Amino acid sequence: MPEKRIIISGGGTGGHIFPAIAIADALKNLEPGINILFTGAKGRMEMEKVPAAGYPIEALWISGLQRKLTWKNLLFPVKVIHSSIKARSIIKKFRPDAVVGVGGYASGPTVKAAAALGIPTILQEQNSYPGITNKMLARKAKKICVAYSGMEKYFPASKLVLTGNPVRAEIVHANAKKEEALEFFGLDRNKPTILAVGGSLGAFTINQSIHQGLKEIADSGIQLIWQTGKYYADQASAAVLPFENSGIRQYTFIARMDLAYAAADLVISRAGAIAISELCVTGKPGILVPSPNVAEDHQTKNAMALVSADAAIMVKDSECARELVKTTIELAGNNERKMQLSANILTMGKSKAAAEIAEIILSCIIK
């Protein structure tokens, strides 16, 4: 029997890339001989993260249309044509049995070309409000895997499968690595540890609030693993120098997020769909700061789904500077409240989402 061949396309941010890698890993687990190729946007982080995960990737010259008037928009039609031609060429050369779109710029040309060539396409939508690329591609998709109910507002109901969001296996099993994690980050097992992340590129409001509150955090006997993203890295690395002996650790990007979750007693995060899915499967008490700069304010909707189930605490972005550090210190010292949040958020986790999506992809292959 010939090996199965799958293209997974999309990226731009960790919220698209890491679910894609989780799906690829699940496919490999089900079909060890499967051949997987990624396509991504030239110059974006998938071009680094996908090879690091052990998969080949082809780059497309594509980007989004800028909302403000800029000369870059003049290149947009040229990029669409160029990337469409290249995507079609990649598909004809690789001959996939199915193509999976996870959202992001690069998935558009690849999934559209596959559908035009009669190849089954499957979409994975992470958010409660879908991205424009997936909405455009939905009509010809065979299946659309979603993480939230009520998505028939945006997609054909007959194609929807409620799977939850795929989370990397190492994060699903992170809690078994507590001792390894504390040693990895050089932390004291007898002190509470906070993990603060703002997505793969960082979150300015969260970073600024933590920066201003570093002394309060250190004085409270709390340890901190702080992923700042590249745009705040220089400021943060200078700011933490006086507090390194207090267990304050700053990183531009954390490759071992499984160990970061394992070490953490509490997580501060944006409310992106994948961040929330990771909190749910690891059962970590969370303080969520929804980004105000997203379509339909969907991060607030994501956060409120947890808050209404008493599974997380929300701090508004506009109140972050005043409230975040104070709320964090209070929660870090309240073990009963942390246990309550942890128990509630665990009930919302879907740890087998990646495996379920992989099975759906394989079922769509034309025999």
pLDDT-derived band at 104 (thresholds 50, 70, 90) equals: confident
Angle, helices 353-363 vs 14-30, to 10°: value is 70
| Residue bearing tokens 């991504």 | 40
Nearest to 364 by CA among 149, 112, 90, 114: 114
User: Percent of the chain scored above 70 by pLDDT?
Assistant: 95
Mean pLDDT over residues 287-293, rounded? Answer: 93
pLDDT-derived band at 106 (thresholds 50, 70, 90) equals: confident
| Residue bearing tokens 């769509």 | 364
The mean-pLDDT minimum among 38-47, 49-58, 59-68, 317-326 falls in 59-68
Q: In whole angstroms, what is the distance from residue 306 CA to residue 289 CA?
A: 12
- pLDDT tens digits, 190-238: 999 999 997 666 689 999 999 999 999 999 999 999 999 888 999 999 9
The mean-pLDDT minimum among 156-160, 167-171, 327-331, 354-358 falls in 167-171
Task: State residue 64's pLDDT score.
Answer: 62
> Which residues neighbour 77 within 8 Å (Cβ) at sequence distance 6 or greater?
none
pLDDT tops 90 at residue 137 = yes
Query: How far from chain centre, in Å, is Cα 288?
Result: 15
Mean pLDDT over residues 287-294, rounded? Answer: 92
pLDDT-derived band at 54 (thresholds 50, 70, 90) equals: very high
pLDDT tops 60 at residue 23 = yes
Q: In whole angstroms, what is the distance from residue 114 CA to residue 366 CA?
A: 13
Tell me the HSE value of 162 on the side-chain side, using a 13 A CA sphere: 7
Count, residues in the chain:
367
Mean pLDDT over residues 330-355, rounded? Answer: 95
> Which residues neighbour 128 within 8 Å (Cβ) at sequence distance 6 or greater?
147, 148, 150, 151, 273, 298, 301, 302, 305
Whole-prediction pTM value? 0.85
Q: In whole angstroms, what is the distance from residue 224 CA to residue 240 CA?
A: 10
Mean pLDDT, the chain, integer: 91
Task: State residue 238's pLDDT score.
Answer: 94
Task: State residue 198's pLDDT score.
Answer: 76
pLDDT-derived band at 44 (thresholds 50, 70, 90) equals: confident
User: Percent of the chain scored above 90 by pLDDT?
Assistant: 72
Q: In whole angstroms, what is the distance from residue 222 CA to residue 241 CA?
A: 16
Burial 266-302 (b: 16+ CB within 10 A, else e): bbbbbbbbbbbbbbbbbbbbbbbbbbeebeeebbbbb
Per DSSP, 3 falls in state P
pLDDT greater at residue 271 or residue 198: 271
152-159, long-range: CB within 8 Å, 24+ apart, which pairs?
Answer: 154/129, 154/130, 155/125, 155/130
Backbone φ and ψ for 101, nearest 5 degrees, come out as: -105, 125
pLDDT-derived band at 52 (thresholds 50, 70, 90) equals: very high
Q: In whole angstroms, what is the distance from residue 348 CA to residue 249 CA?
A: 30
Q: Which amino acid is at 38?
A: F
Task: State residue 98's pLDDT score.
Answer: 97
Q: In whole angstroms, what is the distance from residue 262 CA to residue 270 CA?
A: 19
Q: In whole angstroms, what is the distance from residue 147 CA to residue 142 CA?
A: 17
Task: State residue 71's pLDDT score.
Answer: 55
The mean-pLDDT minimum among 4-18, 61-75, 276-290 falls in 61-75
Task: State residue 170's pLDDT score.
Answer: 92
| Residue bearing tokens 């008493």 | 310
Q: In whole angstroms, what is the distance from residue 113 CA to residue 336 CA?
A: 53
Tell me whether strands 121-125 and 143-146 are parallel, antiparallel or unpaired.
parallel
Please name the residue ranges forming H helices in the chain.
Answer: 14-30, 46-52, 76-94, 107-116, 132-137, 169-172, 178-185, 204-212, 214-219, 233-239, 257-263, 273-282, 298-307, 320-332, 335-346, 353-363
Mean pLDDT over residues 307-323, rounded? Answer: 95
Q: In whole angstroms, what is the distance from residue 125 CA to residue 138 CA?
A: 10
